[in-house]
Amino acid sequence: MIKKPLRVGLVGYGFMGRTHSNAFAKVNQFFDLPYRPVLQAVCARDAGKVAAFAEQWGYGSTETDWRKLVERPDIDLIDIASPNDTHAEIAIAAAGAGKMVLSEKPLGRNAAESERMVEAVEKAGVPNMVWYNYRRVPAVTLAKQLIDEGRLGKIFHYRAKFLQDWTISADLPQGGAGLWRLDVNVAGSGVTGDLLAHCIDTAMWLNGGIDQVTAMTETFVKERPHALTGRVEKVGIDDASAFLARFQNGSLATFEATRYARGHKALYTLEINGEHASIFWDLHDLHRLEYFDHGDEGRLRGWRSIHVTDGDHPYMKNWWVPGLQIGYEHTFVHQAADFLAGLGEGRVPGPSFRDGLATDYVTDAVLRSAGSGRWEKVG
Ligand code: SOE
């Protein structure tokens, strides 16, 4: 198949800039697609660092002002991998310039920002997507298939956790490269927008919309030095966040995220209990899906651990041979592959900006409820 070039302009070269660049670089080697991403330009404020990144990843040119990047006629798609406070302005300008727009999660710092982003891409009619990558872990995609096939029956419970431990030290500053996630003005919120947003996106994809929530949050370290101002400043983010939810389908849920669970680095787990079957998945063992089917013969009934690496498992025939595992970075490759395939069919897959907004309505309701102490309806 002759592949049409799709000229990518990336904003931001941190952790997420690397995951996206890796996806664009690898995707055509493993998936047969109608489009071929071209690493046309990368943009960041530090000219020296952005030049080094361009050299390492093979970007053809650099910019230090994202406005210039957005205006360039030789760019088809703007990919936003910069901190959360930049997402809205860049996405709205990119859509206005007629570019396709991809954004790292969460879409905006709050739903009000995300609403403006959705309006901009929908008014411009440009393809758009949010990088909620965990949907594309093959085991999670398999869970989606099993649920959609009705194997679980009526869903009663959804349980998700995302546990980390990297901000326990009170000496850790807030703000600046790598630590902007601790600065509320940049991040919008703490673990609610950073970690629970992943859990909520996956949950609504698997189990439908969330109707109402009741939440609690805590900021364990109240003041931290700010890396940019040099002053000790109040911490505005939530360090831990937990909530109960009622889904529109009547199921009950618990969600928890924290950066204070000593010993856990990125323990994202989810469990779903249905009338006929249950599912459990754990990011630390991401290639396995635990599955219990009550329809199995009684004597042999039990949890099975499915090693999701076979050719008939989602995405796996594009990689190695059955039994060989893939990892975290492949989820971004899968998302890029689905986006490019969708472009060819004129039907871009989710999560769209509108899906990202739906998640932000839930995270806003969680933060509202933590403040009010009451159940809150999701906007
Ligand atoms: C935070 O540590 C973080 O990097 C999130 O920002 C990512 O979205 C998550 O996938 C892993 O953890």
Span 158-185, mean pLDDT? 97
Tell me what percent of the residues of the chain surpass a pLDDT of 90: 99
Distance 194 CA to ligand 1 centre (A): 6
Distance 294 CA to ligand 1 centre (A): 35
Residue 1 has a pLDDT of 65
**CB 238 within 8 Å of CB 370:** yes
Residue nearest to ligand 1 atom 8, measured at CA: 194
Mutation pick for ligand 1 pocket among 183, 194, 258, 332 (CB with most ligand atoms within 8 Å): 194
Q: Which ligand 1 atom sits nearest the alpha carbon of residue 164?
A: 2
Give 264-307 pLDDT, tens digit per residue.
999 999 999 999 999 999 999 999 999 999 999 999 999 999 99
Distance 25 CA to ligand 1 centre (A): 21
Residue nearest to ligand 1 atom 5, measured at CA: 194
Tell me what percent of the residues of the chain surpass a pLDDT of 70: 100
Distance 287 CA to ligand 1 centre (A): 19
Q: Which ligand 1 atom sits nearest the alpha carbon of residue 197?
A: 8
Distance 91 CA to ligand 1 centre (A): 21
Neighbours of 263 (CB within 10 A): 7
Give 306-358 pLDDT, tens digit per residue.
999 999 999 999 999 999 999 999 999 999 999 999 999 999 999 999 999 99
pLDDT score of 2 more than 90: no
Q: Is the CB of 201 under 6 A from ligand 1?
A: no
Q: Is the CB of 194 under 6 A from ligand 1?
A: yes
Q: Which residue has the tokens 């769209």?
A: 352
Distance 177 CA to ligand 1 centre (A): 14
pLDDT score of 11 more than 90: yes
Q: Is the CB of 76 under 6 A from ligand 1?
A: no
Give 191-228 pLDDT, tens digit per residue.
999 999 999 999 999 999 999 999 999 999 999 999 99
Confidence of residue 178 (pLDDT cuts 50, 70, 90): confident
Q: Is the CB of 267 under 6 A from ligand 1?
A: no
